[in-house]
Chain A
Amino acid sequence: MTIAEHIAAVAGGASVRERAEAALDRVGDDPHRAFLSLDRDWILADAEQLDARLAAGESLPLAGAPIAIKDNLCQRGTRTTCGSRLLEDWVAPYDATVVERLRAAGALLFGKTNLDEFAMGSSTENSAFGPTSNPRDPSRVPGGSSGGSAATVAAGHVAASLGSDTGGSVRQPAAYCGVHALKPTYGRVSRRGLVAFASSLDQVGPFGATVADIAQVYDVIAGPDAGDATSADQPAPSAMEVLGAGVAGLRIGVVRSCLEQADAPVAAAVEGAAERLESAGATLVDVGVEHLDLALSAYYLIAPAEAASNLSRFDGARYGLRVEGRDLAETYRATRARFGREVIRRIVLGTYALSEGYADEAYVRASRARTAICRAFDSVFEGVDLLLLPTAPTVAFALGEKTDDPVAMYAADVFTVPASLAGLPASSSPVGEVDGLPVGAQLIGRRFEDTTLVRAMEVLSS
């Protein structure tokens, strides 16, 4: 059921409420544990309000289509836990800009989805409230960190959802669950109200059952926001308007080194995607991007450094969990000891990366590598319009398979972190299967050319 079908149904006389009930019934008791909160009464009350607005003649582009929200986005009046004990009972006092925009466009905000704690992880197993399973194979992870948002779309509960992507957190779960996802150019979508993991990398992005669903949500959430100083001060071109434009005339660079690094069946599926783009009129060229080998280490220094800083506000003093100690220092320690293992690991790593005597070797060097990667992309994009590579080296792995091996877990992000470091738009689209598990192909575009990605995603899905 796509957003377009929903809009048509509502235009044909269906109520938002009855469609909300149907969606709630589809979720049932949430066998994949995609949701951290899904309040039936709230959702039905909101649905009735949307029906009233429609009845009053208000024009609502999304017409009450249910859209699930990752639980690190503030939604006024709902718990926003970030998958963490520290915010288990914290109720957001305001709406994130993207949530505000969805409301204004008439979306039915449909629950808060599970995630790795504070979006740190690649499997959603780092959620303090238990993992989400992959609807395509419940013994497998859905990917992460936006695993709940990917799973609920893959399960057919809703047509679209919002996730956040710091190093691949919408693209990789989209690949594992077999749905579409788009990480817009850094600055294209407001981060206001997205609980920060790594501010220079975080970007909100949609998941969709179809590319049209992605485009519909993107058009609502993208564009400047005075409430986010890093938001790009230029209007976002419409993704809906490029649907059907095709890829004829585009030059697409196939990043050969990444295909070689991926599992052979994954690489083969991505080769197949390349052929589809070529037969739709694109020109394929093999390209290499310099310094890609630095990306993972640079990312795992910069992101933890920013995270350590961003998470220092969780001290139990003003909101969220507070564990009393004998004195102030002990209260801080006891409260912050409730972070999960992975979050603590990254806070420690990030604190080292910024400490006197280590920062030059760690944070500063990583920042230099980041600059080099940005330049390498710039130079590649002088010759091509898009890059094609696998989203992840493998298909979804088994629950529990990598929980004791953080480095193996981090390696799941090897193909997604480069675009994050460079702030480039990137997407994942399902392009095949290996043993019944979906394979995702990643596209990376030039800065602010998000809609070019949408054109190619559409071709891949046809």
Chain B
Amino acid sequence: MSALEPVIGLEVHAQLATRTKLFCGCETRYGAPPNTQVCPICLGYPGALPVPNEQAIELAVRAGLALGCTIGRASRFDRKSYFYPDLPKGYQISQLDLPINEGGELRVGERVIGLERAHLEEDAAKSQHVGSQTRVDFNRGGVPLLEIVSKPELRSPAEAEAYLRELRLVLMTIGVNDGNLEEGSFRCDANISLRPVGSETFGTRVEIKNVNSFRFVRLALEAEIARQKVVLGSGGTVERETRSWDESSQKTVAMRGKEAAADYRYFPDPDLPAIALTDAQVEAWRDAMPELPAARHRRWLDAGLTDYDAGVLGQHPATAAYFDAVCAASAMSAKKVANFIQSEVLGHIATDGLDATLPVPADALAELLDLLDADTIHGQAAKKVFGLMVEEGLGAKALVQREGLAQETDEGAIEASVRAVLEAHPDQVAQYREGKTKMIGFFVGQVMKASKGKANPKAVKAIAERLLEPN
């Protein structure tokens, strides 16, 4: 039997970061008491009508533009029908034939992964099974989602994980999704099949539902590939079914078969006219598009950052923006700024969805880094000052002055200190002059000690070497 390769496609449900739901004015805030963010519309009351949320449409189009999709100029909402308590109208408003975004692609490392579509739909409510009871919280019902469907072009679990990380970062960078996996703002279903290497056809695919971390997606896919290889290797066939990831056993387990494929009876929602988008509107959104993570990454490499630096600083849009703002306000090289931020600042940045708490403003950090860059203070002093800035909220210059941390740069004063040290240590001077030039460290140390660390060590060394030259 020839070698098998995995064929993976991902369906991501990304919650659009709107204030209100897709078709009513209820808030989308996570964590409110059950059924407190509901109204006749999102509860499917008789006579209630959906009214599209313009912000959701804008965010969906912005996502489409960032992903290189074709923006549908007359896209349409359709009803997808099935009975379940989490679906108050008996149908979900989604998009079938004319999605708002068609096609598109996402660059993941060296590969470009094609997209089928990215369409708008409303979220279902959240069911909770308590004993024999099912409780339903409709706060989530009607929240806007963008379902982003990749082509089956991913070839490894690691690539799938990288795709998800990159997609999440793109959506966060353009402010479309808060990237919060724990709260379910970014959910993933994976389709996976195996086929002989070189084959153009697809094997029977299995869908793995609702895996709630990127690492688990990779692990679930790895486990599923292993399972399918065993099945196929022993001459069996893979069933078309839906499976879920079981963390405790590190395996996928069957959820339900798809033999009785549901007939969703899609048809255009007569309550909702086609979404009319003008070219001018779409172009305005395109023009307002911020720099995307991939372009930013390239720009940073050109500015001298390593791939690692750029990856670390780019992992959250707020950190990335912060780094760029500090660079813009400071004369220090980008690489040195990157080093300082990574070693000293990142540990102080707390992120919550799209929000981030920054320890000091970018221009305040730039002020500190400029003092360091101009040798006004040295590295150890800069770390100390940064700590004080975070604690006290004072500016770098004021703290350097208060703490007396400015380096002594007056050559005359330094020379006087050096002369005093040389005079106090005639034996060591003699040794130096006999060829033990390593003694220079001793003299510099003595001068630094005498100046309580304020003398510029480079200047001290140069002056001492000059004065120690044989007369």
Q: Which residues of A contact B (CB under 8 A)?
A: 72-74, 80, 82, 87, 90, 92-94, 96, 191-196, 198-200, 226-230, 305-306, 309, 311-313, 315, 317-319, 328, 332, 351, 354-356, 359, 363
Contact = CB atoms under 8 A, between A and B. Distances in A.
B125 to A, nearest CB: 10
A93 B45 contact: yes
B254 interface: no
B273 interface: yes
Interface in B34-63: 40, 43-52
Interface in B431-462: none
B51 A312 contact: no
A301 B47 CA distance: 22
A82 B46 contact: yes
Give the 3 A-B CB pairs with smallest separation, nearest first: A312-B90, A200-B270, A199-B270
B267 interface: yes
Contact of B263 (A192, A193, A356): A356
Main secondary structure of the interface of B (DSSP, over half): loop
A228 B270 CA distance: 11
B271 A318 contact: no
Nearest to B136: A317
12 contacts: A93-B45, A96-B47, A191-B49, A192-B47, A194-B47, A199-B270, A227-B51, A230-B49, A230-B270, A319-B46, A351-B265, A356-B263
B180 interface: no
Contact of A313 (B44, B134, B136, B265): B44
B271 A354 contact: no
Contacts of B90: 309, 311-313, 315
Contacts of A199: 270-271
User: DSSP class of A's interface residues: helix, strand, loop or mixed?
Assistant: loop
Interface in B69-113: 79, 81, 83, 85, 88-91
B306 to A, nearest CB: 52
A200 B79 CA distance: 14
Contacts of B83: 312, 315, 332
A296 B372 CA distance: 84
Contacts of A313: 44, 46, 88-90
Interface of B: 40, 43-52, 79, 81, 83, 85, 88-91, 134, 136, 263, 265-267, 270-273
A356 B96 CA distance: 14
B91 A312 contact: yes
A403 B88 CA distance: 33
Contact of A226 (B47, B51, B265): B51
A74 B270 contact: no
A177 B272 CA distance: 35
Contacts of B79: 309
Contact of A230 (B46, B88, B273): B273
B47 A229 contact: no
Given A94-B40, A306-B270, A355-B263, A74 B51 contact: no
A150 to B, nearest CB: 21
Contacts of A74: 46-47
Contacts of A72: 47
A318 B46 contact: no
A409 to B, nearest CB: 24
Contacts of B134: 328
A313 B83 CA distance: 9
Contacts of A332: 83
Given A309-B81, A313-B88, A318-B88, A92 B47 contact: yes
Interface centre among B45, B52, B134, by most A CB within 10 Å?
B45
B396 to A, nearest CB: 53
A312 B49 contact: no
Contacts of A228: 49, 51
Nearest to B90: A312
B194 to A, nearest CB: 29
A312 B85 contact: no
A194 B45 CA distance: 11
Contacts of B85: 315, 317, 328
Nearest to A364: B267
B274 to A, nearest CB: 11
A56 to B, nearest CB: 31
Contacts of A359: 265, 267
A229 B267 contact: no
A96 B272 CA distance: 18
Contacts of B136: 317
Given A198-B270, A229-B52, A354-B267, A309 B46 contact: no
Contact of A193 (B47, B266, B270): B47
B93 to A, nearest CB: 11
B76 to A, nearest CB: 12
A152 B192 CA distance: 64
Nearest to A87: B46
A339 to B, nearest CB: 13
Nearest to A202: B270
A228 B273 CA distance: 10
Given A191-B49, A230-B271, 15 more contacts: A82-B46, A87-B46, A94-B40, A94-B47, A192-B48, A193-B48, A200-B270, A229-B51, A229-B271, A229-B272, A309-B79, A311-B90, A317-B136, A319-B45, A354-B266
- Count chain A CB atoms within 10 A of each CB in B43, B46, B270, B272 and give the residue with the most: B46
Contacts of A192: 47-49
Nearest to B272: A229
Nearest to B24: A227
A80 B263 CA distance: 32
A19 B461 CA distance: 108
A191 B88 CA distance: 20
Contacts of B263: 355-356
Nearest to A198: B270
Among B48, B49, B273, the one with the most A-chain Cβ atoms within 10 Å of its Cβ is B49
A328 B127 CA distance: 13
Contacts of B271: 196, 199, 229-230
Nearest to B82: A312
B256 to A, nearest CB: 15
Contact of B265 (A193, A227, A317, A354): A354
B260 to A, nearest CB: 13
B120 to A, nearest CB: 14
A312 B50 contact: no
Contact of A305 (B43, B46, B267): B267
A311 B47 CA distance: 11
A448 to B, nearest CB: 16
Contacts of B272: 229-230
Given A351-B265, A354-B267, A309 B91 contact: yes
A87 B46 CA distance: 9
Nearest to A231: B49
Contacts of B43: 318
A312 B270 CA distance: 15
A359 B79 CA distance: 14
